[in-house]
């Protein structure tokens, strides 16, 4: 899509054919993260538009929008990350980066794989869309869903659907749960995904958080404040799948 078109950032029509093809590829290879962004673009339509308007109506949301912080840049500042206090959300994020080798910049580059140009758009909705992407790994920390396993990703996807209303998240979560049920006959995976959705509904709206301040907050304190509970069904499913040697589904 041309840059001039992207400057308007108009909602796009849902493309179910593209979403279905990308979902099939993703379910065949859970590490093919490019397909996640294809599904998002195909199904999320006006999600970022609606959520940006909601941000402006939230307490402090106008200031967040005015500051217009690019979180890819902030989360890639290792000096800043290293300076966050022990026990904080940011300290757990630091450990996550070291453990996984993931990075905010790496996730951004994967999202740009199809070269559609929206990464350069100087538009508040495009900025908000980038912000939605960049907080994904922080949400792993806040929710306790591990990023290195398909179950953890599926649970966070369901949580994200509850938080954002983006149908792309719903498609991925439902697809993962149905695949697990079909392949293993084990219901604990689907129960954990459903718990992720319920927890996302109950939690405060995380897009209204000032993430630079949030990362300095003690993790336990942040979870209590944001009403994010311990994911009991998730931990039970982890144990159940491990006992059956099914972690890689």
Question: pTM of the full predicted structure?
Answer: 0.90
Largest CA distance in the chain: 54
| pLDDT tens string 111-162 | 887 766 556 678 899 999 999 999 999 999 999 999 988 899 999 999 999 9
Model pLDDT, residue 247 = 60
DSSP assignments along 200-212, one per residue: HHHS--GGGS-HH
| pLDDT tens string 87-122 | 999 999 999 999 999 999 989 888 887 766 556 678
Assign 3-state DSSP to the chain and report helix, strand, coil percentages, each to 5.
Answer: 70, 0, 30
Rounded distance between C-alpha atoms, residue 54 and residue 130, angstroms: 16
């Amino acid at each position: 899509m041309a840059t001039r078109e992207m400057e308007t950032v108009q909602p796009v029509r849902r493309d179910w054919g593209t979403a279905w093809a990308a979902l099939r590829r993703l379910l065949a290879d859970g590490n093919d993260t490019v397909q996640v962004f294809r599904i998002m673009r195909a199904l999320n339509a006006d999600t970022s538009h609606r959520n940006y308007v909601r941000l402006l109506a939230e307490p402090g949301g106008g200031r967040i929008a005015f500051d217009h912080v690019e979180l890819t840049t902030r989360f890639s500042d290792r000096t800043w990350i290293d300076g966050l206090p022990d026990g904080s959300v940011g300290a757990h994020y630091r450990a996550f980066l070291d453990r996984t080798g993931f990075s905010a910049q790496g996730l951004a580059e994967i999202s740009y794989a199809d070269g559609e140009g929206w990464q350069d758009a100087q538009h508040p909705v495009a900025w908000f869309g980038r912000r939605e992407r960049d907080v994904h790994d922080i949400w792993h920390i806040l929710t306790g869903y591990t990023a290195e396993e398909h179950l953890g990703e599926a649970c966070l996807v369901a949580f994200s659907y509850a938080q954002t209303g983006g149908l792309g998240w719903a498609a991925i979560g439902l697809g993962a749960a149905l695949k697990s049920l079909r392949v293993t006959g084990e219901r604990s995976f689907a129960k954990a995904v459903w718990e992720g959705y319920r927890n996302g509904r109950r939690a405060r709206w995380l897009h209204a958080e000032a993430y630079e301040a949030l990362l300095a907050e003690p993790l336990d304190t942040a979870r209590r404040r944001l009403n994010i509970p311990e994911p009991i069904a998730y931990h039970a499913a982890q144990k159940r799948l491990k006992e059956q040697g099914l972690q890689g589904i």
